[in-house]
Structure 1
Amino acid sequence: MKTDYYEILSVERTASDGEIKTAYRKLAMQYHPDRNPNNPEAEEKFKACSEAYSVLSDADKRAAYDRYGHAGVNGAGGFPGGGNPFQGQGDLGDIFGDLFGEMFNMGGSGGRRPSRQQRGRDMQFQMKLEFEEAVFGVEREITIRRAETCDDCKGTGSANGKQPEACQQCGGRGQIRSQQGFFSVARTCPVCSGTGSVIRNPCTTCKGDTRVTREHTINVKVPAGVEQETRIRYSGEGEAGRFGGPAGDFYVVLDVKAHRFFERDGDDLHCVIPISFPQAALGTEIDIETLDGTETLKIPEGTQSGREFKLRSKGVPHLNSHGKGDLIVEVRVQTPAKLSKQQRELMKQLSETIAVENTPHSRGLFGKVKEMFS
């Protein structure tokens, strides 16, 4: 035995047309297949509530159903030919227009008069920064051209600030519906372009657009520690909305130039310093240029090429936080390409005192080879 239509929609038998419509909309939104993919139970409930509404929303069918039950409608609430919930249901198409409008945020709700308000377009500006500016932060003023609300018409688009009139073609709904077989098809009104209203006497300044283009200056504050392609958002600083709609946002995208020798890894900095063989063998102290000034780095005796030294807190400030990264200095022993006659003789004498067995070793054992020089 089929379930009672009133029970399916959870309404009383004395429910008004509005109550029935509201109950159906709620259930259709809950069980719609697009919201419940691969859920046969939800699909069956969706079909059941659509079938119930198709009968109870029609005065003649509802009267017959109230008197004779399911036999009184002779399957009129069913979906012949594969369960099409639109078949033979003019008002049901309106319900689904409302339903899909809400599900996909396509503007307007339930066939009501649409709002002319339109959100302004977001804008983007690429700002080039020196490496040091990204590390320490910087403040700049930039000038952009953007659409702003027309002062003459106060954003209405009409001369003398008059409000737009309701479109007579669509009755202010923004859509024109036509019946095509079993379907009720809605299309955008060609007169008002879907806004539901028209401007009879456009503003001479903005030509009815509600906005004009002007230059605008924005003070951009770049915090210390930003990276390449960091985006800074300024809410409401984009283009003005139309017909009283909210303004868009303005985004500053940072393009940071590379440093001449520092490489950045997160908040740490890396660089390579060449040293001579005597410096590596005997040890020395060298001056290192950092972003905060010159620091002295002690190279211990017997330092191997490729060894890294860490200068703490000499890196990049942590963005919107305390502290800094580190500076990692890698030393590389530089072999001279040319030697003088005196240098060559001295190197020969030195080589006679240092013996190295030139036999292959695995990479994992290379550390033991280094010990031979320490």
Structure 2
Amino acid sequence: RGSRKGAAQMCMSCHGTGMQVRMHQLVPGMVQQVSTVCHSCQGQGQRISHKDRCKSCVGRKIMRQKKVLEVHIDKGMRDGQKIVFHGEGDQEPGIEPGDIIIVLDQREHSTFTRKGEDLVMSIELQLVEALCGFKKPVQTMDNRTLLITSNPGELIKPGDTKCVVNEGMPMYRRPFEKGRLIINFT
């Protein structure tokens, strides 16, 4: 056999299988077969001479590496929605690399509750405000202030709702269209 510099040669200890099988006699007439990972090639089935081994991976054909993946979360994405990075998982020679899957976990907000593209909130009114009218400022999620009003003489009962169009969550893949802001009065 000719040997090229840097070429891997079949491991003669395990005959290229990566496993060593040993027979161990327990008592006369009874033997035990033990399979272990080959110590010469570390289960690779090939051996690379020490002088030809890569300095970075030391002949294991795998290098540990940290990689920063930038995740873009589009406006309007929902709780539990998945973002997949194909082929960015662990890699090994001869094995197709896996995927990295990121699952979005939506945090609860102190004022708003999300219902699809709509945002729901509650405003507590005094009896005078419910009978004579009110002006209430509402801080939106994008730091704007909306003024919610009712006209004098307009009666607001407990459980009534008011909708403000285009003040809800952006719609996924249509970021300039928004849902409604639904206000429940108590």
**Interval of TM-score (by shorter of Structure 1 and Structure 2):** 0.5 to 0.7
Counterpart residue number, 1:268: 118
Return the match for 2:49 from 180, 191, 201: 201
* 1:169-209 alpha-carbon deviations (Å, 9 max, x no partner): 456698x9xxxxxxxxxxx88547886x3224363532332
> Residue 128 of structure 2: SS of its match in structure 1?
helix
> Residue 278 of structure 1: SS of its match in structure 2?
helix
Structure with more relative contact order (C-alpha pairs < 8 Å, separation 6 or more): 2
Counterpart residue number, 1:324: 178
* 1:59-80 alpha-carbon deviations (Å, 9 max, x no partner): xxxxxxxxxxxxxxxxxxxxxx
* 1:29-65 alpha-carbon deviations (Å, 9 max, x no partner): xxxxxxxxxxxxxxxxxxxxxxxxxxxxxxxxxxxxx
Contact (CA 8 Å) 1:228, 1:255: kept in 2 or not? yes
What is the identity, as a one-letter code, of the residue corresponding to 1:198? Q
Matched, 1:290 2:140: yes
Counterpart residue number, 1:113: none
* 1:132-174 alpha-carbon deviations (Å, 9 max, x no partner): xxxxxxxxxxxxxxxxxxxxxxxxxxxx642352667456698
Contact (CA 8 Å) 1:225, 1:267: kept in 2 or not? yes
Aligned equivalents of 1:317, 1:214: Cα separation in 2: 37
In the TM superposition, what is the alpha-carbon distance from 1:329 to its structure 2 partner?
0.5
Aligned equivalents of 1:328, 1:258: Cα separation in 2: 17
Change over 3 Å in CA distance of 1:164–1:189 after alignment to 2: farther
In the TM superposition, what is the alpha-carbon distance from 1:304 to its structure 2 partner?
0.2
User: Equivalent residues in 2 for 1:89-100 (5 A)?
Assistant: none
Contact (CA 8 Å) 1:288, 1:295: kept in 2 or not? yes
Matched, 1:231 2:76: no
User: Equivalent residues in 2 for 1:95-106 (5 A)?
Assistant: none
Contact (CA 8 Å) 1:170, 1:189: kept in 2 or not? no
Contact (CA 8 Å) 1:315, 1:325: kept in 2 or not? yes
What is the identity, as a one-letter code, of the residue corresponding to 1:276? Q
Change over 3 Å in CA distance of 1:306–1:167 after alignment to 2: farther
Aligned equivalents of 1:330, 1:162: Cα separation in 2: 74
Aligned equivalents of 2:37, 2:65: Cα separation in 1: 31
Counterpart residue number, 1:165: 10
Contact (CA 8 Å) 2:48, 2:59: kept in 1 or not? no
> Residue 251 of structure 1: SS of its match in structure 2?
strand
> Residue 220 of structure 1: SS of its match in structure 2?
coil
User: Equivalent residues in 2 for 1:1-374 (5 A)?
Assistant: 161-165=6-10, 169=14, 191=38, 197-201=45-49, 203=53, 204-239=55-90, 241-243=91-93, 245-292=95-142, 293-300=144-151, 301-321=154-174, 323-332=177-186
> Residue 280 of structure 1: SS of its match in structure 2?
helix
CA RMSD of aligned residues (A): 3.3
Task: Note the residue ranges of structure 2 that are not aligned, 5 or more in a row.
Answer: 22-34
Counterpart residue number, 1:48: none
> Residue 77 of structure 2: SS of its match in structure 1?
coil
Change over 3 Å in CA distance of 1:234–1:161 after alignment to 2: farther
In the TM superposition, what is the alpha-carbon distance from 1:252 to its structure 2 partner?
3.1
Aligned equivalents of 2:121, 2:112: Cα separation in 1: 5
Contact (CA 8 Å) 2:8, 2:48: kept in 1 or not? no
Change over 3 Å in CA distance of 1:324–1:167 after alignment to 2: farther
Change over 3 Å in CA distance of 1:171–1:284 after alignment to 2: closer
Q: Identical aligned pairs, as a percentage?
A: 24
Aligned length: 161
Q: Of Structure 1 and Structure 2, which has the larger fraction of its residues in helix?
A: 1
> Residue 314 of structure 1: SS of its match in structure 2?
coil
Contact (CA 8 Å) 1:231, 1:253: kept in 2 or not? yes
Change over 3 Å in CA distance of 1:169–1:218 after alignment to 2: closer
> Residue 222 of structure 1: SS of its match in structure 2?
coil
